[in-house]
Amino acid sequence: MKRMIWANIAIVASLGTVLAGCGTPASDAGSAPSQTVTVVDGGGAYHDAMVKAVYEPFEKETGIKVVSQSYDYSQGAIKAQVLGAKQWDVVSTSTILDDAAAAELYQPIDYAVVNKDGYSAADASKYFLWSVYSANVLAWNTNSIKTAPTSWADLWDTGKFPGPRALWNSPQSVLEIALLADGVSWDKMYPLDVDRAFKKLDELKSKTNIVWYDSGAQQTQNFSSGAAVIGEGWNGRIASSRNQGQPVDYTINGALSGGTAWAVLKTAPNKTNAMKFMNYAGGAEAGAALAQAFPGMSPANTKSYPLIPEKIAKNLESNPANAKVVAGNMDAQWWATNYNAVYERWQKWYSAK
DSSP line for 17-86: ---SS-S-PPPSSSSSPP-EEEEEE--HHHHHHHIIIIIHHHHHHH-PEEEEEE----HHHHHHIIIII-
Parts of the chain with a pLDDT under 70: 1-33, 318-320, 353
How far apart, in whole angstroms, are the C-alpha atoms of residue 332 and residue 334? 6
User: Given this model, what pLDDT does residue 320 score?
Assistant: 66
Do 36 and 19 touch, CB atoms closer than 8 A? no
What's the Rg (C-alpha) of the chain?
A: 20
Do 171 and 346 touch, CB atoms closer than 8 A? yes
Do 217 and 241 touch, CB atoms closer than 8 A? no
Do 40 and 69 touch, CB atoms closer than 8 A? yes
Measure the CA angle with vertex 3, ends 125 and 118; round to 5°. 60
User: Given this model, what pLDDT does residue 122 score?
Assistant: 85
User: Given this model, what pLDDT does residue 2 score?
Assistant: 36
Q: Fold identical between 36-133+258-329 and 136-256?
A: yes
How far apart, in whole angstroms, are the C-alpha atoms of residue 125 and residue 310? 29
Do 262 and 90 touch, CB atoms closer than 8 A? yes
Q: Please, which residues have CB within 8 angstroms of residue 307's CB and are 6 or more apart in sequence?
A: 284, 285, 287, 288
User: Given this model, what pLDDT does residue 33 score?
Assistant: 67
How far apart, in whole angstroms, are the C-alpha atoms of residue 132 and residue 144? 32
**Length reported for the chain:** 353
User: Given this model, what pLDDT does residue 32 score?
Assistant: 57
The CATH code for residues 136-256 is: 3.40.190.10
Overall fold of domain 36-133+258-329: D-Maltodextrin-Binding Protein; domain 2 (3.40.190)
User: Given this model, what pLDDT does residue 114 score?
Assistant: 98
User: Given this model, what pLDDT does residue 203 score?
Assistant: 97
How far apart, in whole angstroms, are the C-alpha atoms of residue 260 and residue 333? 16
User: Given this model, what pLDDT does residue 243 score?
Assistant: 87
pTM of structure: 0.70
Where do the domains of the chain lie? Answer: 36-133+258-329, 136-256
User: Given this model, what pLDDT does residue 261 score?
Assistant: 95
